[in-house]
Amino acid sequence: ATCTPKNRNDALHPLWQSPLTIPGGTRQSPINIQWRDSVYDPVLKPLKISYDPATCLHIWNNGYSFLVEFDDSADRSIIVGGPLENQYRLKQFHFHWGAINEWGSEHTVDSKFYPAELHLVHWNAVVYPTFEEAVMEGDGLAVIGVFLKLGAHHEGLQTLVDALPAIKHKDTVIEFDVFDPSCLLPPCPDYWTYAGSLTTPPLTESVTWIIKKQPIEVDENQLEAFRMLLFTSDGEEEKRMVDNFRPLQPLMNRTVRSSFQ
């Protein structure tokens, strides 16, 4: 029988004991995407993604996930089109994953969990002067979500995996000079989109979510490498960085649109 995730908030990292619901929150994330309830919108444009690999700065363990950060001081790595009215600048990408392959993603599709989920975080630099301000605004951020499923070895991901031992502990960072996050995107252009929020504090309702329909494949060793990271700093009692995903939030008065029929 497939074991459904029990309530893990008891033994979890303090973050995940954060308020599960935001008082007055009407557009919280993540959500379950019920495929048959999503509505095809012919007005949705293809998403245009152009990343400059040289904008990659460093990779670090922030105690919740590991993230790769980019130089967002100019419009060098951007996305435009799709559901977006402006172009958005790439700031960072990170992942969420489980202790075992049965769960780990934040969003689900027809209540199915994937073992992990990639988030590419962009902000609206056309309208807002800083990322920090964009985080507080309804149209401030655009996050591309990509599901990871267990399968073939992923060459592009391996570059990241090879760097993880060097950032095992919270607040460790290493320089990461050239990486093209486009290699982590599936070839299929299809996506779902809906108005949501950050899934970790400050949980602000500022995200236009763009969830790719097609997952990318990674192998068991690569997922295991994620699970070797620690929530804790060097010298503290070790706590493995696993199950760093937020529980599903109510859809409330929202429609998920699809770019495909």
Ligand X SMILES: CCOC(=O)CCc1ccc(S(N)(=O)=O)cc1
Stretch that binds ligand X, among 14-22, 155-163, 197-205, 228-236 (CB under 6 A): 197-205
CB-CB contact of 147 with 212 (8 Å): yes
Stretch that binds Zn ion, among 4-12, 13-21, 118-126, 186-194 (CB under 5 A): 118-126
Residue of 37, 85, 132, 162 that binds ligand X (CB under 6 A) = 132
Beta bridge partners of 66: 61
Least distance to Zn ion, CB of residue 98, Å: 14
Residue of 119, 122, 154, 170 that binds Zn ion (CB under 5 A) = 119
Instruction: Match 């008082």 to its residue by tokens.
Output: 23
Q: Work out the angle between the directed axes of helices 155-163 and 220-227 (0-180°, nearest 10).
A: 30
Q: Judged by CB under 5 A, how many residues of this single chain contact Zn ion?
A: 1
- The reply on whether position 143 binds ligand X by CB under 6 A is yes
Residue of 108, 200, 232, 249 that binds ligand X (CB under 6 A) = 200
Q: Which does 135 bind (CB under 5 to 8 A by kind): ligand X, Zn ion, none?
A: ligand X
Residue closer to ligand X, measured from CB, 131 or 176 = 131
- The reply on whether position 91 binds Zn ion by CB under 5 A is no
**What value, to the nearest 5°, has the Cα angle with vertex 189 and ends 197 and 257?**
45
Distance, CA of 170 to CA of 67 (rounded, Å): 11
- The reply on whether position 212 binds Zn ion by CB under 5 A is no
The beta strand positions in 157-255, using DSSP E, are 172-175, 191-196, 207-212, 216-218
- The reply on whether position 144 binds ligand X by CB under 6 A is no
Alpha helices in the chain (DSSP H): 131-134, 155-163, 220-227
- The reply on whether position 107 binds Zn ion by CB under 5 A is no
Beta bridge partners of 174: 59
Residue type, 196: G
Task: Note the residues at the interface with ligand X (CB under 6 A).
Answer: 119, 121, 132, 135, 143, 198-200, 202, 207
